[in-house]
Structure formats: C-alpha cells, structure tokens
C-alpha cells in the first residue's frame, strides 16, 4: 500500500508552531506522566508519522499525542490498522468555535480566557513542553480573535491573563529550556495585549505593555519576541506622531533576528520607511522601501514564520508602500501600490482588505478623483459587513472624511458624513 503523508499532523504542527524536536519532548514527557518512564520518541519517529510510514503509533504514544494536542489520534491523521487508508477522520473543529469561546470568556472573566493549563496540569503538577505547546495554541486562538474582531478591551485582558499564566507556570518548569519558552510566551501574550490596545486606538497603557514585553523577551533571550516589541513600539510612536521615536524603534528592530532573517529585515526596513516619510525625509523613505522590497524578494519562504510576523509578506509591503508614497506626495504611486496589495491579499484577510481599500480611497482623493474616491471609500463598509470599526480604521476613515470635506462638493461630503455616522460603531 502506498504511503500517504499525514497532512493533519503537519497542519497541527504548523498551526501551533511546534517543531519536531519540541513534539518529541512533549510526547516523551506525556509518556513519563502516563507510565513513570520517559518516552523514547525521536525526531525520526515524528518524521515517520509525518511521512505516513507509521500510520498507527503504539498505544502509549497515541495516548501521549492525544494528551499533548487535545485531539484524538484519528483527528491527527492516524488510521487504525486494518482500516482503509482513506478512512475519514473526524472533521476539524471550526476555528470560529474557538473564537466564540474566547469572545464569551473574555466578555466575562478575563482570567478564564487562556487555555486552562492550570486546571489540566493541577496546581502542583510538573510543567513541561506539552504545557508550552498548549499555551502556545492559546496565542493562536487570540490571534484568530483579533483577525475576527480587531483590537478591543476583552482581547487585551485575555492576552494579559495568558501572560500571567505563563509566568505562573514557569515557576514550576522542569528545565531551564522550558522556563525560557514560557518567558517567551509571556512576552508574546503581553505584546499581543499591546497590539490590541494600539489597534483599538487606546494608547494609554501601551508603553507599560511594551516595556514588559521587551523585558520578558530579554529574560527569555528571544530575539523574535524582542523584534516584535520594537516593531510595535515603532507603530505606537507613529500613531502618536512622534516620528523620531518611530524611526529609532524601527532601526532598533533591524538588529538581532533581522540580521539573520530577510523576512524580519524587510519588515524593519518597511517600518523605518513609514517613520521617515512622516518625518519629511522623503528620499530616505524611498530608499528604505527599496531595501524592504529587495530583502523580501530574497527571503526564505520555505519555513513557516513565527505567528506574530505571519501577517507580513508581499501584500503587506505593498500596503505599507501605499502609505509611504501617499505621505510623501506621490498619490498615483500610492494608488498603484494599494491595487497591488489588494490583488495579493487572501480573501480571508477581511480587515486588511478594508484598511487597504481605505488607503486606496485616500490616494485617489489626493489625485483629485473625488467621485472614484467616494465610491472606493464606501466599499470599506461593504468589506467589513457588520463588523464594528476598530480604532485604527475609525482614525483612517476620519482622515478620509477630513480631506473629503476640504476638496469635495458639499453634497458628496455630506453624503459621506451621513454614511460614516450610520456605519460607525465602537469596537
């Protein structure tokens, strides 16, 4: 019988950011909890699972895998002996179910939002790699919630609750390696809280969140999380119109992991370009965008990126280019870049599509094409549907309305203002 790759297990590993060595550790620890003896699963074993050479692991390995992932063995793509290779696995749970759970929990008690590791492990239980994997999955759920609703208070609180749980767990970690991973997760959760506040337009607590995220990243010695904090610091400073700090933060992001990863380096150059454009350094801004394009073109796309930077790619760079070109007075180039961004965006990135559509409307307005700009601007509401306008989107549409009032005939400006009032709702 021909071997069939285990796409379900590969998809779970990709979704949770779990590499083969980490899965080995987690399964072996779970086997120890089950039997009293550390398991002997190796990376070769994991690769045999992924390749389909081993389609039904030993009973204790299956139980350990189910403990680590929270999924049945058949849901992980394994097929019992004697079954057809095409035996259907239980359908994966709709991601919206996870989002609804998080929405409901966040609307109630923030501390209940994170995946209940303490309940699963017990107050005095040993904390190991499997706990890291489960807690990392809760980050994924929060990111799904952000993609669905944007930044809001409940998401910020949920993220801080996850950070608190990671820090509590690290006190019972079985090794320094696990402790470091938990510090990284605490930094990731805290940065997620900062992003939620930035996206919602509530900037008062963001400094405190970012300072904490940066400190936790330092304790973890994690360059990935360090760059995430500097990237958000640059975005925060730009929103506050502190362009010197935005440039400095973006340049700080060009160190560390950005020196090893072209994807990260490209993002850091793009973020620098935005700060330079707003600071009036137009030629420098265009040079930075050029570096971002050249670096991204040479980036390694074979390895899945870390969760926090997965948003960045050709579409996002085109969108940032549209911002830079519009700010420096090149609206035609901004319009072209916005069109390229929309063409490259996956259909599922609805909020990104709405934001880029608003940037397109601004670029068209700045070229004097009022009727087209008005039509494009109204498309934003169609893209968002019933989703409330989050803080950054309200600010961008407010900028569009201000410029429209200054340039458009009163009738069009009034029609837009009426539509904006009718569609606006707090995030």
pLDDT digits (tens, 9 = 90+) for 52-96: 888 899 898 898 888 888 889 998 889 987 664 444 444 444 433
Q: Are residues 169 and 54 in the same domain?
A: no
101 and 191 assigned to the same domain: yes
Burial class (CB in 10 A: 0-12, 13-18, 19+), 284: middle
187 with 135, same domain: the answer is yes
Last residue of a domain, one of 16, 42, 76: 76
- Is residue 82 situated within a structural domain? no
In a domain, 192, yes or no: yes
Residues 12 and 105 in one domain: no
Token readout for 283 is 């030629």
Neighbouring residues of 314: CB distance < 8 A, sequence distance ≥ 6: 296, 344
Mean residue pLDDT of the chain comes to: 85
pLDDT at 121 over 60: no
Last residue of a domain, which of 76, 104, 125? 76
Based on the fold, state whether residues 68 and 103 are members of the same structural domain. Answer: no
CA distance 328 to 365: 15
C-beta separation of 68 from 27 below 8 A = yes
User: Within a domain: residue 204?
Assistant: yes
Residue 261 lies in a domain: no
Q: Is residue 297 part of a domain?
A: no
| pLDDT recorded at residue 245 | 97
Q: Is 77 left (phi over 0), alpha (psi -120 to 50) or beta?
A: left
In a domain, 123, yes or no: yes
Co-location of 217 and 99 in the same domain: yes
Residues 98 and 31 in one domain: no
Q: Is residue 129 part of a domain?
A: yes
Model's pTM, two decimal places?
0.79
Instruction: Kindly report, residue by residue over 228-278, the tens digit of the pLDDT.
Output: 999 999 999 999 999 999 999 999 999 999 999 999 999 999 999 999 999
Q: What is the pLDDT of residues 395-415, one digit of tens each?
A: 899 999 999 999 888 888 888
In a domain, 114, yes or no: yes
Number of domains composing the chain: 2
The span from the CA of 248 to the CA of 303, in Å, is 29
CB 391 within 8 A of CB 151: yes
User: Do residues 427 and 390 make contact, with C-beta atoms less than 8 angstroms apart?
Assistant: yes
Alpha helix positions (H), 36-174: 43-51, 59-69, 95-107, 117-121, 129-149, 153-170
pLDDT category of residue 425 using cuts at 50, 70 and 90:
low
Main-chain phi, psi angles of 127, to 5 degrees: -110, 120
User: Residues 103, 201: one domain?
Assistant: yes
Q: Which residue segment(s) compose the domain that 37 sits in?
A: 7-76
Examine the domain organization and report whether 101 and 210 are in the same domain. Answer: yes
Is residue 123 domain-shared with residue 172, that is, in the same domain?
A: yes
User: Residue range 158-183: average pLDDT?
Assistant: 90
Mean pLDDT of 280-290: 98
Same domain, 101 and 50: no
Q: Give the model's confidence band at 154: pLDDT under 50 very low, under 70 low, under 90 confident, else very high.
A: confident
pLDDT of amino acid 100: 36
> Does residue 133 share a domain with residue 54?
no
Residue 264: φ, ψ to 5°: -65, -40
Could you read off the pLDDT of 188-241 as tens digits, one per residue?
999 999 999 998 888 888 999 999 999 999 999 999 999 999 999 999 999 999
User: How many angstroms separate the CA atoms of 281 and 267, rounded?
Assistant: 19
The rounded percent of the chain whose pLDDT value lies above 70 is: 87
Per-residue pLDDT averaged across 321-333, rounded? 97
Domain endpoint, select from 221, 256, 280: 221
């Amino acid at each position: 019988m021909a071997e069939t790759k285990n796409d379900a297990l590969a998809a779970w590993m990709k979704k949770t950011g779990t590499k083969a060595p980490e899965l080995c550790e987690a399964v072996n620890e779970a086997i120890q909890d089950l039997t009293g003896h550390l398991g002997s699963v190796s990376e070769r074993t994991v690769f045999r699972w992924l390749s389909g050479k081993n389609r039904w692991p030993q009973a204790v390995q299956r139980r350990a895998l189910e403990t680590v992932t929270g999924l049945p063995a058949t849901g992980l793509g394994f097929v019992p002996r004697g079954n057809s290779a095409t035996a259907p696995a239980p359908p994966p749970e709709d991601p919206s179910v996870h989002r609804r759970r998080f929405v409901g929990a966040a609307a109630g008690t923030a501390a209940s939002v994170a995946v209940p590791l303490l309940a699963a492990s017990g107050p005095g239980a040993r904390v190991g790699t499997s706990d890291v994997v489960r807690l990392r999955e809760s980050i994924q759920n929060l990111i799904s919630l952000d993609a669905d609703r944007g930044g809001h208070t409940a998401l910020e609180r949920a993220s801080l609750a996850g950070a608190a749980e990671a820090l509590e767990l690290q006190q019972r970690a079985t090794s320094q390696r696990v402790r470091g991973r938990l510090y990284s997760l605490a930094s990731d959760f805290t940065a997620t809280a900062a992003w939620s506040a930035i996206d919602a337009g509530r900037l008062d607590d963001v400094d405190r969140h970012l300072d904490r995220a940066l400190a936790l990243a330092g304790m973890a010695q994690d360059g990935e999380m360090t760059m995430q904090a500097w990237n958000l610091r640059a975005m925060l400073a730009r929103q506050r119109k502190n362009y010197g700090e935005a440039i400095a933060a973006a340049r700080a992001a060009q160190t560390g992991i950005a020196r090893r990863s072209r994807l990260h380096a490209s993002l850091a150059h793009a973020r620098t370009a935005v700060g330079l454009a707003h600071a009036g350094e137009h030629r420098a801004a265009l040079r930075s965008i050029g570096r971002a394009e050249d670096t991204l073109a040479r980036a390694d796309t074979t390895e899945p990126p870390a969760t926090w930077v997965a948003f960045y790619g050709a579409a996002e760079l085109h969108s940032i280019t549209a911002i830079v070109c519009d700010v420096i007075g090149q609206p035609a180039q901004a319009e072209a870049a916005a069109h390229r961004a929309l063409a490259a965006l996956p259909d599922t990135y609805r909020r990104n599509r709405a934001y880029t559509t608003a940037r397109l409307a601004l670029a068209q307005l700045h070229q004097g094409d009022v009727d087209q700009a008005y039509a494009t601007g109204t498309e934003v509401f169609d893209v968002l549907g019933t989703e409330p306008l989050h803080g950054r989107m309200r600010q961008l549409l407010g900028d569009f309305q201000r410029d429209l009032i200054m340039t458009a005939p009163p009738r069009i400006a009034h029609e837009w203002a009426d539509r904006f009032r009718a569609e606006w709702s707090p995030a």
